[in-house]
């Protein structure tokens, strides 16, 4: 397989990271979770007591963070300023915070620049909201994953429960809907399907079925 770039975009809970990881593994590619980078900025701002509406300070923080993805025993780990933040960025508060800081243009500029560098050599699957539209507009393969809101909320709810959090399905659905609204209506790089992306509705499909569908799309494009 040529060292192409595969962009996977879509709303929260559409299965991007689960599918992205599996597709990367099957192809021997590197997987990069761009949402984890926005989460890292939000987590550090919250921990440092920086108000998320203080754009200048949040941008400065984003510009100065070191963010690394390193392989670990149970999958990839996220190191922020050298500290393992893999679990700490997965809370609902950090998810909402990430959605807020990702609307700040200076934060996006800082992270998009690094994402472009990370993908420059190819052989990469990157998931996010603007990968096919902004980060790699010339990616060889673009996939837009989507699913009905109740199903996306249910997936997030089960994930939270698995992590031992006390989750509430109705509250999770409200949370996901609120993030959808913010991510699709922000002025800078809103979530939208690239014109040349293939849309896959994952409602009612299991992980293996979606993985196969994406690998078929890859094979059809570059086979």
Closest approach, Cβ 122 to ligand DC, in A, equals: 18
Closest CB to ligand DC among residues 50, 95: 95
Closest CB to ligand DC among residues 13, 223: 13
CA distance linking residue 32 with residue 16, whole number of Å: 11
Helix, coil or strand: residue 168? coil
Closest CB to ligand DC among residues 1, 150: 150
Closest approach, Cβ 102 to ligand DC, in A, equals: 3
Closest CB to ligand DC among residues 178, 216: 178
Compute the radius of gyration of the chain from its Cα atoms.
Answer: 16
Tokens coding 70: 């390193």
Closest CB to ligand DC among residues 50, 111: 111
Helix, coil or strand: residue 29? coil
CA distance readout (Å), 12 to 16, 18, 92: 8, 12, 12
Closest approach, Cβ 112 to ligand DC, in A, equals: 8
- Asked if residue 12 lies in contact with residue 148, where contact means CB atoms within 8 angstroms, the answer is no
Which residue in 48, 21, 16, 1 sits closest to 146, CA to CA?
A: 16
What DSSP line would sit under 62-114, residue for residue?
A: HHH--EEEEEETTEEEEEETTEE-TTGGGSHHHHHHHHHHTT-HHHHHHHHHH
CA distance linking residue 89 with residue 47, whole number of Å: 11
Closest approach, Cβ 223 to ligand DC, in A, equals: 27
Closest CB to ligand DC among residues 66, 184: 184
Closest approach, Cβ 11 to ligand DC, in A, equals: 9
Residues that bind ligand DC (CB under 6 A): 12, 34-35, 38-39, 95, 98-99, 102, 128-131, 179, 183
- Asked if residue 187 lies in contact with residue 202, where contact means CB atoms within 8 angstroms, the answer is no
Closest approach, Cβ 78 to ligand DC, in A, equals: 11
């Amino acid at each position: 397989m040529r060292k192409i770039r595969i962009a996977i975009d879509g709303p929260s809970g559409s299965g991007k990271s689960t599918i992205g990881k599996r597709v990367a593994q099957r192809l021997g590619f590197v997987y990069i979770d761009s949402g984890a980078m926005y989460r890292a900025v939000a987590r550090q701002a919250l921990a440092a007591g920086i108000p998320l509406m203080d754009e200048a300070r949040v941008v400065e923080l984003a510009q100065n963070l070191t963010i690394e993805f390193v392989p670990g025993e149970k999958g990839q780990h996220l190191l922020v300023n050298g500290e393992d933040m893999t679990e700490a960025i997965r809370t609902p508060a950090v998810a909402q915070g990430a959605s807020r800081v990702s609307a700040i243009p200076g934060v996006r500029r800082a992270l998009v620049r690094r994402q472009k560098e990370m993908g420059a050599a190819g052989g990469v699957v990157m998931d996010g909201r603007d990968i096919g539209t902004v980060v790699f507009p010339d990616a060889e393969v673009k996939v837009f994953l989507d699913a009905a809101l109740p199903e996306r909320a249910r997936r997030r709810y089960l994930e939270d429960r698995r992590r031992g959090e006390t989750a509430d399905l109705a509250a999770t659905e409200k949370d996901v809907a609120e993030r959808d609204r913010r991510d699709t209506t922000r002025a800078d790089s809103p979530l939208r399907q690239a014109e040349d992306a293939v849309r896959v509705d994952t409602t009612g499909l299991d992980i293996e079925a979606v993985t196969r569908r994406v690998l078929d799309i890859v094979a059809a494009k570059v086979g």
